[in-house]
Chains A and B, each alone.
Chain A
């Protein structure tokens, strides 16, 4: 039982550290310039398709 817990904990910490390293290496979550999903000057995000009075677009 103890061995299983230790292995599970080690695997969890290792996997999350690897994920952290990947995110740090690729800049996950940072401002992405030139990406299809990046903001390009409008206050609307990719979900804002339309406009109209007062929309700010």
Chain B
């Protein structure tokens, strides 16, 4: 149940002053340990009877959400007020990312952290009592408040980029910490580890619309609606892209099996002759349809020899077009004490006869191993009316990539 409240700051407990610039720092939380001066950006630590400056930081960029210091809101029957904000940066070997945490005081005396990052959205974390030993460096499970365990998902270093307001821990600009994140049983878990302390938090995801409604911010509500509509469109586009990708992959499989076998003939190429070549007539009743020439080596090659065979097509107008060259080979050797033998006796290429009519497929023996004296027997196959599968495959990959892109965009919070 959401009940908006007037935007009134909580009462001031104590009036303090920044030791650097003298600006008043009203203390509203009894457990405040750090103030960030809004004038000079000094981090001011609260001691037993004195304030101590702990360095200056850069001014915090404006929050992307209208959650301001001193704002009050009611969410699910609990009144909250915003006391502070911290902007963090985490990183790993490949990436850097940022997230924001707002310190919230509540009318039942608890202090909570409202966290936001682009992947998870908003999560309201409350501090969790540590009941069992937990090694932040190696543990794979997090002991939860109800005696169960949650799985650790991520472990990464982080630092404070900037902060504002009053905070209940000793913060300083650029301070390093290690994060452990996990999830389980519908809850999110966040563990923050510094040199001096380890704090565990358990949280629930909060729908942004519920938060915007709690703040009674019409502009924010409208933004969430627009974003939600946009996410819906992205999901729909992703669905369409995936559908077309599937269609393309099916067409790829179908096209891969197309082609009418027009010619299948075995030819013998004799190395001893000056220009060993054979011409085979083949009729193409219509032009501008893809055809495939395939070569299979019929006579096995002796080990560690090769033979190159070239294929050209002579059109009815006597124009000769080189199609491809295939190197057949048979190799053997020893690798890490094991004998291996590999051979390649098959090749093929697609071409498009521009003209209709009888063509000549010319098969010519090219360079061969000096030791190779035997005749080279090759089976030549020509398939007409082929449909190229590769274009459908490329289309499918691009459509699938677009689908993934739009799906990821639709998931951004």
Contact = CB atoms under 8 A, between A and B. Distances in A.
Contacts of B395: 16-17, 20
Interface in A1-56: 2, 5-6, 9-10, 13, 16-17, 20-21, 23-28, 30-35, 38-41
B351 A33 contact: yes
Nearest to B361: A33
Contact of B288 (A2, A9, A26): A26
B51 interface: no
A40 B321 CA distance: 5
B279 to A, nearest CB: 14
Contact of B354 (A2, A10, A23, A35): A35
A23 B320 contact: no
A11 B317 CA distance: 42
Nearest to B317: A34
A52 B388 CA distance: 40
A34 B321 contact: yes
Contact of A30 (B240, B248, B350, B359): B350
Contacts of B313: 33-34
A9 to B, nearest CB: 5
Given A13-B399, A24-B392, A31 B232 contact: no
A34 to B, nearest CB: 3
Interface in B286-315: 288-290, 313, 315
Contacts of A24: 255, 290, 387-392
B316 interface: yes
B289 A21 contact: no
B241 interface: yes
Contacts of B392: 20-21, 24
Contact of B351 (A13, A20, A31): A31
Interface string B76-93: 000000000000000000
Given A13-B241, A27-B288, A41 B320 contact: yes
B243 to A, nearest CB: 8
Contacts of B237: 5-6, 9
A10 to B, nearest CB: 6
Given A17-B247, A20-B248, A20-B392, A33 B350 contact: no
Given A24-B388, A38-B319, A30 B232 contact: no
B236 interface: yes
B315 A33 contact: yes
A17 B393 CA distance: 11
A23 B387 CA distance: 9
B352 A26 contact: yes
A33 B353 contact: yes
Nearest to A6: B236
A55 to B, nearest CB: 19
**Residue among A10, A28, A32, A33 with the highest chain B CB neighbour number at 10 A:** A33
Interface string B379-403: 0000000111111101100010000
Interface of A: 2, 5-6, 9-10, 13, 16-17, 20-21, 23-28, 30-35, 38-41
9 smallest CB-CB distances across A and B, nearest first, come from A34-B315, A27-B290, A35-B354, A33-B321, A27-B352, A33-B313, A24-B388, A31-B351, A34-B354
